[in-house]
């Protein structure tokens, strides 16, 4: 991770075919081209994720927004999300007029099922687990809750493409799964995203909604119907072309990440005080990050600093990270926005300040994650493993 580290001839070939056609838009101009890259990538994505349908959009954030709307989530509905995620998760919920309900995470670094159960109210419409840093939430209990309370399960798998749970690809377990193909994801389009589903109605909604409500019936784009309002979340053919090449390399990327992950894990296991993120039974991560715990917050902070001092780049201490943890989301908690929000959203978001997230804090304050890079050599990985052990041992004494 990320896929841009290994751009090559395959990506250039696909992009050049688009440039040669002169058609950079995914819809229309049929007579001027012989290939449709977005259509091809949707087919490849659906096949790889073992779902009936896939819809490409302009970003992972767009995928989340389109998924919510397509599943009927809207004004005043509550959507349960984790305290540890990327800001796009709550941005998407707010964008459709719904209310983000923050809930504690556990040592999977994802939603704690017991905390989710306690957060369900008569206004809850969806649960949105986020598979952070290449691994997954404990999904089975969430599936049970969704069935019991007739809720929609929307998987945010933007950081975990290629992982699986009980032999099913992440993203395919819920009603809708969402992916990001931005520049720093395991596979990239430069900018882009996608959603997958087995629900025909959700797919149709996503297809229309992401293109101004076009129904895409017939050969004359200007004469197409518009059964409902939509917006512009389209991906371009240039971006889709990059993705066509990258998705066909996904399994090779995953194999490299796993190989390097295991080298680092074996080294860190020599430190008794280091423990590892919980992987739910039946789960297989995509190995894009290695996440581990130190015994205390003080030691975790010191270890993160020490890693940098020992030349270990791309390590993250999420507890005080600006973009990924609730402790730095003042702009959400205070609703600092150019938009005007409804009274119900303001009341719900402001009241969230009263919630106790100490269970999440106890986990994230001890967590360090390190990126696994595709461009490393095996010798560099072994050197990195040695440096990581030395850096942590300096702190632990």
- Residues annotated catalytic, as ranges: 185
Strand partners, 182: 190
Q: How many CB atoms lie within 10 A of CB 388?
A: 26
Give the Å distances, CA to CA, from 204 to 57, 214, 349, 374.
14, 10, 32, 36
Largest CA-CA distance found in the chain, in angstroms, rounded:
72
Instruction: Respond yes or no on whether the N-terminal peptide bond of residue 2 is cis (omega within 30° of 0).
Output: yes
Query: Closest by alpha carbon to 4, among 259, 184, 162, 258?
Result: 184
Cβ(251)–Cβ(67) under 8 Å? no
User: Would you state the structure tokens that stand for residue 40, as one six-digit string?
Assistant: 């091809």
Instruction: Identify the residue whose tokens are 């003042």.
Output: 330
Query: Closest by alpha carbon to 62, among 172, 211, 250?
Result: 211
Instruction: Identify the residue whose tokens are 């490393």.
Output: 376
User: Would you state the structure tokens that stand for residue 386, as one six-digit string?
Assistant: 């040695």
């Amino acid at each position: 991770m990320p896929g841009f580290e290994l751009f090559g001839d395959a990506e250039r070939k696909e992009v050049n075919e688009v440039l040669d056609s002169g058609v950079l838009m995914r819809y229309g101009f049929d007579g001027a081209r012989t290939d449709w890259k977005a259509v091809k990538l949707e087919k490849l994505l659906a096949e790889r994720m073992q779902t009936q349908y896939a819809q490409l959009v302009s970003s992972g954030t767009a995928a989340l927004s389109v998924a919510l709307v397509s599943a009927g989530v809207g004004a005043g509905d509550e959507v349960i999300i984790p305290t540890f995620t990327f800001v796009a998760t709550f941005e998407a919920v707010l964008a459709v007029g719904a209310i983000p309900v923050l809930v504690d995470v556990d040592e999977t670094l994802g939603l704690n099922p017991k905390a989710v159960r306690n957060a369900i109210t008569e206004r809850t419409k969806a649960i949105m687990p986020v598979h952070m840093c290449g691994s997954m939430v404990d999904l089975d209990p969430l599936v049970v809750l969704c069935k019991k309370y007739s809720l929609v399960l929307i998987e945010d798998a933007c950081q975990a493409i290629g992982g699986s749970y009980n032999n099913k690809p992440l993203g395919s377990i819920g009603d809708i799964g969402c992916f990001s193909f931005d520049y720093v994801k395991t596979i990239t389009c430069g900018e882009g995203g996608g959603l997958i589903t087995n629900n025909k109605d959700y797919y149709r909604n996503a297809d229309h909604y992401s293109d101004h409500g076009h129904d895409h019936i017939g050969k004359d784009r200007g004469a197409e119907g518009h059964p409902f309002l939509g917006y512009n979340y389209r991906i371009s053919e240039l971006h889709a072309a990059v993705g066509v090449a990258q998705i066909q390399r996904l399994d090779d990327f995953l194999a490299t990440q796993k190989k390097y992950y295991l080298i680092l894990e074996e080294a860190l296991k020599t430190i008794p005080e280091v423990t590892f993120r919980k992987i739910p039974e039946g789960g297989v991560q995509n190995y894009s990050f290695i996440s581990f715990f130190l015994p205390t917050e003080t030691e975790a902070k010191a270890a993160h600093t020490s890693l940098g001092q020992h030349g270990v780049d791309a390590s993250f201490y999420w507890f005080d990270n600006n973009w990924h943890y609730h402790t730095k989301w003042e702009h959400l908690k205070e609703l600092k926005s150019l938009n005007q929000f409804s009274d119900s959203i303001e009341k719900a978001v402001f009241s969230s300040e009263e919630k106790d997230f100490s269970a999440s804090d106890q986990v994230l304050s001890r967590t360090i994650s390190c990126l696994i890079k595709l461009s490393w050599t095996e010798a560099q990985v072994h050197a990195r493993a040695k440096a990581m052990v030395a850096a942590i041992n300096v702190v632990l004494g």
